[in-house]
Amino acid sequence: MRRSSLGSSEEAAAEEEELRWAAIERLPTRRRVRKGIVLKRYGEGGGVVVPVEVDVRKMEVKDKVMLLESLLKVPETDNEDLLRTIRKRIDRVGIAIPKIEVRFQSLSIEGEAYVGNRALPTLLNSTLNAIEGVLKIIGLSSSKKTTVKILQDVSGIVKPSRLTLLLGPPGSGKTTLLKALAGKLDKNLKVSGEITYCGHDFTEFIPQRTSAYISQHDLHYGEMTVRETLEFSRRCLGVGSRQMMLEELLRREKTAGIVPNFDVDAFMKATTVATKRASLFIDYVIKILGLDICVDTVVGDEMRRGISGGQKKRVTTGEMLTGPAKVFFMDEISTGLDSSTTYQIVNYLKQIAHIMDETLVISLLQPAPETFDLFDDIILLSEGKIVYQGPTENVLEFFESMGFKCPERKGTADFLQEVTSAKDQLYYWFDGNKPYRYVPVTEFVSAFKSFYIGKDLFEELRHPFDKGGTHPAALERMKYAISKWELFRACFAREWLWMKRNSIVFVFKTVQIAIMAMLASSVFVRTKMESGQMEGAAKYGGALFFSLNNVLFNGLPEIAMTTMKLPVFFKQRDLLFYPAWAFALPIWLLSIPVSLMESGILSIITYYPIGFAPGACRFLKQFLALFGIHQMSLSLYHFAGVLGRIEVIATTIATFALLVFFVLGGYIVARYDIASWIRWGYYISPVMYGQNAIAINEFLHERWNMPIGNSTEPSIGIAFLEQRGMFTTERWYWISIVALFGFCLLFNLLFILALKYLKRK
């Protein structure tokens, strides 16, 4: 195919394109995959259009806009032509596109749950459930939970190149079936049966990367724009095998002497080559999903105004469409969308299923008739059983064979959801020769097995899928799409963006600690602090303890900020966007400048006005100790946030931990006054090491090296330290510093482990 152009310069432009393409063809394949020809406008008003060779990874915004406009003037109609042109180009050189067939046989899923009044989320029930859980673990009590059957002996086949609708009333098990097929089931559920992709079970590949599960819950960072959200998803999910397929395509075309359509060639290269910011592909998804009017608007959340609920639902869908998955399980993607928008999105999904041979299962609650007609197959669930699975055009025939008919003015989807209901079934009975009787779901299931569609389905299931015919690139076997370094860079960039968008919080914390430092300087002012008496030592000790408190409590907002991020993290962790360490490490690293700044402000404002031990070395040592305390506290709050997962619970955990650390820290209760059976707790309290570090730095200075009165007792500084049960040698300062950073490392490791293994509440 060749680009047809208008205007007097048509022949000159065509010749220019030919010359530039010939230059690109002489490049090695790895370089050719990055080079394309696009049209650029020059002159007044952009009247002169010239073909230009560009690096598709570095295309200018106006070039991307012009390329997309040339291919998708009207997305609703032009997208199908674009996909068919791409598919025709691939087929012309004999490249096979990966196809995936999903089978499930005798699949049953059970769970345990409280029923009746015990299931209500009251304080009493929560307490009883917690006590019962502990007693069950130690074997002193059996569980009072009831076994609930979610799916019961369901079997079926989801074929590629066909759009499948999953339909059923609420509570029928649709979400559980989709999660089971996507390999995302909760490990607490009891699962029996078999699920295979092209004959391979889940132990032979990574289902979470081979398929994409789109949840009915819209979980996104409210601070990020639509484009930023989709770009992060694309960056983490990568391009899969598409780049290798494109390289092979270019090699075969060069061998065969085929010259492609230059617009389509540039589009395929720009949307396939892995880059840091895959903007053109993101622009394509945005245009197809109708998000171009809000592309630079923040997504928003409960505290921040953003896009509408329907737009947020489309962002959730687009987030997974940016990846390379060949199988999609979509759960209630039409919530909040009008029927026209739902139709357009489902029509686009039908195009990629039919033209690009992808496998799609979409769960909808009440699709409009025109949307229902887009689907090729339907799986009808009721009471955890499959009532019908097969072509949509035969579903009414099956129910008519059972004595039920859909009224002319009734939508087929509404009829199918109501015909198995005991409440509504009567209204669809049309067999006048027999009196109506309620037909239970089990009878529908048995009848379907003897229906000719059901017979063909179960006959096909009896013959195993031929593994030998599986495309090598169909199943993903690597856990993550990109390298560890790229995962870290992506998460680091997002965390930095999140901090900038929430800069008011960090500004407030800085101002808060500055105000507290000025208050401390005014209360513990130098003129009222005698450094040669025990009374003065007590005052200086109080000033040091006040500084330690300021640093410890300044980081408490981190608990709320951590719990706010967790829903998005758990979703993306389970979808294998990135591992736990890639999420946690940027948070830790970016907290270091914050700690340096806040500890520095406190030290600068308080140290000399209060009159701590003079000397730059002593000042820097106190700053180092406060920095270590601040880092330790932030790490503790991050760990508490994940451990609690809910802000109230996490705050309770952190507050209790601080209470224990303070009581055992050696200042409120001296070391010698702590009961012997709990004195070991003194040595595992981070507050103890922080208090010792700043106290040793102050009271071992030479100005405190004077006797008490005329006695030969130790100096005032050592006497004060001994009175409070603290250590009296300089080496304990460095031991305390090492211990503080050791606790920081420990809490960060626990933070990562909690992120990795805990589930979302």
CA distances 653 to 90, 550, 656, Å, are 58, 19, 5
Q: Is the pLDDT of residue 432 over 80?
A: no
Q: Is the pLDDT of residue 37 over 80?
A: yes
- What residue type is 461 in one-letter code? L
Identify which has the larger pLDDT, 192 or 16. 192
Rounded to two decimals, what is the model's pTM? 0.90
Confidence of residue 129 (pLDDT cuts 50, 70, 90): confident
Of the listed ranges 465-479, 544-558, 698-712, the one predicted with least confidence: 698-712
Q: Is the pLDDT of residue 289 over 60?
A: yes
Q: In the chain, pLDDT over 70 holds for what percent of residues? A: 94
For residue 209, the model assigns a pLDDT of 93
Of the listed ranges 79-88, 275-284, 676-685, the one predicted with least confidence: 275-284
38: nearest Cα among 57, 7, 63, 70: 63
Q: What is the pLDDT of the chain when averaged over all its residues?
A: 88
Distance CA 327, CA 210 (A): 7
Q: Is the pLDDT of residue 442 over 50?
A: yes
Query: Mind listing the pLDDT tens digit for each residue in 609-660?
Result: 988 888 899 999 999 999 999 999 999 999 999 999 999 999 999 999 999 9
Of the listed ranges 277-291, 452-466, 543-557, the one predicted with least confidence: 277-291
Q: Is the pLDDT of residue 1 over 90?
A: no
Q: Is the pLDDT of residue 738 over 50?
A: yes
For residue 3, the model assigns a pLDDT of 45
For residue 45, the model assigns a pLDDT of 56
**Residue that has been written with the tokens 């590629």 in this structure:** 160
For residue 173, the model assigns a pLDDT of 92
For residue 416, the model assigns a pLDDT of 93
Q: Tokens in use for 33? A: 């995959």
Query: Mind listing the pLDDT tens digit for each residue in 380-414?
Result: 999 999 999 999 999 999 999 988 999 888 899 99
Distance CA 490, CA 488 (A): 5
Query: Mind listing the pLDDT tens digit for each residue in 159-190?
Result: 999 999 999 988 899 999 999 999 999 888 99
Distance CA 508, CA 518 (A): 15
For residue 6, the model assigns a pLDDT of 45
* Residue 25 CB partners (closer than 8 Å, separation 6+): 32, 254
Domain spans in the chain, listed from the N-terminal domain onward: 486-757
For residue 457, the model assigns a pLDDT of 94
Distance CA 225, CA 687 (A): 41
For residue 261, the model assigns a pLDDT of 87
What mean pLDDT comes out for the span 26-51? 73
Other beta carbons within 10 Å of 101: 19
Query: Mind listing the pLDDT tens digit for each residue in 61-70?
Result: 888 888 888 8
- For residues 361 and 329, the answer to whether their CB atoms sit within 8 Å is yes
Confidence of residue 4 (pLDDT cuts 50, 70, 90): very low
3 state DSSP class of 133: helix
For residue 371, the model assigns a pLDDT of 94
Confidence of residue 5 (pLDDT cuts 50, 70, 90): very low
Query: Mind listing the pLDDT tens digit for each residue in 182-233?
Result: 999 988 899 999 999 999 999 999 999 999 999 999 999 999 999 999 999 9
For residue 84, the model assigns a pLDDT of 94
What mean pLDDT comes out for the span 468-477? 89
Distance CA 376, CA 451 (A): 19
